[in-house]
Structure 1
């Protein structure tokens, strides 16, 4: 069974591929990776090697950091796995300035305090 992280990376590759208008076949062709391997990666059924990851990133014409921005994953709102949700939350703020992160933390604390009071 693959890890949640492998599944997230696969979903992110699928999302970027679709945004670029590529089919799995065209991504396979551009990257030099078999289409079945691309399909397995996107479904989180294959643990992608760094070498293959580099080929896919190059074929998608993105920076490596863009691959790990999980906030754009289509189904993130439907997730119930705490670890995946926390990773997505982290990716939302990781590129922000310290002051922005502090503001988000204060706002989250206030919201969670309010939520706790309402649901008592």
Structure 2
């Protein structure tokens, strides 16, 4: 959640201080949320959503995060993947699942990444 808030804040050209003023939240709390040092209540999340002037759904679109050059943890990456798949229909999700299984099989292959026949 913190990464997504940071991303949206930067897209809006806001500093942590500017967002904290708009949301009526202390700037150190915004920093704590963005750095995953603090949990966020629904009330605070609502204040941040309003301050960012986004629709609530947008805050949960984790697949919009930019992972290039960033050391993301597994949970953040899984949240992004889940968010991306949530927008697809069942047939598309099943196709992606089948392809993913083949990719994992290739990665796990002892023959330097070549899929087993």
Q: Fold conserved (TM > 0.5)?
A: yes
The answer on 1:50 being equivalent to 2:39 is no
Partner of 2:80: 88
TM-score (norm 2): 0.79
Give the distance between the partners of 1:51 and 1:45, measured in 2 at CA. 18
Identify the structure with bigger relative contact order (alpha carbons < 8 Å, sequence gap 6+): 1
- Cα deviation for residue 78 of structure 1 reads 2.3
User: Which consecutive unaligned segments of at least 5 residues does structure 2 have?
Assistant: none
Asked if residue 78 in structure 1 is aligned to residue 47 in structure 2, the reply is no
What are the ranges of 5 or more consecutive residues in structure 1 without an aligned counterpart?
Answer: 1-8
Count of equivalent residues: 111
Look up the SS of the partner of 1:78 in the other structure. Answer: coil
Q: Of Structure 1 and Structure 2, which has the larger fraction of its residues in helix?
A: 1
TM-score, normalization by structure 1: 0.78
Rg comparison, structure with higher value: 2
Residue 99 of structure 1 pairs with residue 91 of structure 2: yes
